[in-house]
Structure 1
């Protein structure tokens, strides 16, 4: 099998690429940096620039599936210009791939796109599964709606589409969990706000395995890419401190203070969404790290 990956050098993309190559699959990847183009027997890079509608047509030669992970990080201050980049980095890149497939003979049989759990509204009472139709009206909810619309257009080419609504990815290689570990390790850790807000998360290995599982099983539609056991911010903070053998004696950081520091982006720390991976469970996907204890045991050495 040959797979084309966008965002292949990111946290998820790198893990997934390693997994595919280990099982002797071929990986093509797109990059905006000519310096990052490498070519081996089963790993080949191609240049693209979605802002300028440029792409190397050879990237889809012999490709069976496309995994679209490219998109600007949400973990930067949301200026007006950066908000536009958050949307365009996802939509323009998908549009460019769509145009390429539309005009170029190809054998692509599956389009798999990253998506986000930000599409679900904040709630202390709702439990969100894939059939949930409520849409968050905040900026991030808008981003995910546009993101998924750009993926759905591939259905017009009779290509099955899968959208993985991904929770916070926990890994020892980077991401949100490491940022939470740092202050706790330095004895200045604390929760955020009331600490009651529910966080839906997934271990890096599980999200990479889930993408691979989706390709192998030709699974279509929406899939909540989250662990089956979500956790509150306070419970997570306590669990990390327990693994690090560090005390927690500081009061929780109030929301107004984080808004002062981070601006609108502060909502990432206070989102409250209980999300369940119903489809993944129905498809018999096996999570390696279904609980936070198992994930922390693997990540915190």
Structure 2
């Protein structure tokens, strides 16, 4: 049994992850701006505050907190918020574990496959590949740098570069199951690296329970799907009509602005490294979607 401090614990992934950790007899403490439950403790990144009780005898921190990448248009203010919500929060946690002399066994952080950039290429990106130079990569680079500072104090760090998370409770699928997105976007040949939420949460549990599972890993399913093939599979499982006409690039840019790039571009991501440690329950998109919708 471990005591785990979880940020982003009330979000899509955090909610299920808390259940799984408790099922495995771990104690879970959640940091919240407005704590309403006994195991929720206050933190305030802007005011540099974390309730000291939250870090008492804590074994692991799982850092999921961060503003939603696709929730709002990318104004300059929003771009800074996307970075700060991930980086400043990690910096605060690092500062406080030193201040409170917390002896962590590990720091486990989310990141994104955006590290490799919003591009469509023939490359199948591996963890050791260099990052891109666009904005989505900048978020991930700074996110991971903030996580890796824990290794300065000999604290093992695990980083999961996550793809599109599939869940019955919201997230990307809720947006995809709409008339605009039930058609290929742009050329439709861009890849969508995806992962079922159950597999993703199981990876976080493994990072707590297996001390050899540290470093950087691509957290995506092994099966490669293009936007076009993903949409057709989703329509088939939902028994919904998929329009034969692609949504033009300019339409998406009008609707969502600059962040359209994250759905108009995408490359394949390798799972060779993580498969040495982890067995996927949902390797195929059809099986993953059937579990979610049926």
How would you bin the TM-score normalised by the shorter chain? over 0.9
Instruction: Give the superposition deviation at 1:79.
Output: 1.1
- Select which of 89, 93, 115 maps to 1:119: 115
Distance 1:59 1:189 in 2: 44
- Quote the residue 1:210 is aligned against: 203
The within-5 A match list for 1:80-119 is 80-119=76-115
Question: Secondary structure, in 3 states, of the residue corresponding to 2:142?
Answer: helix
The within-5 A match list for 1:34-49 is 34=35, 37-39=36-38, 44-49=39-44
The within-5 A match list for 1:180-195 is 180-183=176-179, 189-195=182-188
Unaligned runs of 5+ in 2: none
TM-score for both structures, normalised by structure 2:
0.95
Distance 2:54 2:14 in 1: 16
- Quote the residue 1:249 is aligned against: 243
Distance 1:49 1:226, change over 3 A: same
- Quote the residue 1:17 is aligned against: 18
Q: In the alignment, is the contact (CA less than 8 A) between 1:189 and 1:250 conserved in 2?
A: no
Distance 1:33 1:230 in 2: 40
Unaligned runs of 5+ in 1: none
Distance 1:58 1:243 in 2: 47
Aligned-pair Cα RMSD in Å: 1.3
Count of aligned pairs: 290
Q: In the alignment, is the contact (CA less than 8 A) between 2:120 and 2:191 conserved in 1?
A: no
Q: Does 1:263 align with 2:257?
A: yes
Distance 1:250 1:50 in 2: 47
Distance 2:251 2:129 in 1: 33
Q: Does 1:296 align with 2:292?
A: no
Q: Which moved more, 1:208-217 or 1:101-110?
A: 101-110
Question: Secondary structure, in 3 states, of the residue corresponding to 2:177?
Answer: helix
Question: Secondary structure, in 3 states, of the residue corresponding to 1:238?
Answer: helix
Instruction: Give the superposition deviation at 1:194.
Output: 1.1
Instruction: Give the superposition deviation at 1:140.
Output: 0.9
Question: Secondary structure, in 3 states, of the residue corresponding to 2:179?
Answer: helix
Instruction: Give the superposition deviation at 1:103.
Output: 1.5
Distance 2:262 2:173 in 1: 13
Distance 1:292 1:5 in 2: 29
Distance 1:251 1:153, change over 3 A: same
Question: Secondary structure, in 3 states, of the residue corresponding to 1:231?
Answer: coil
- Quote the residue 1:52 is aligned against: 47
- Point out 4+ residue stretches in structure 1 off by more than 6 angstroms: none
Distance 1:245 1:123 in 2: 29
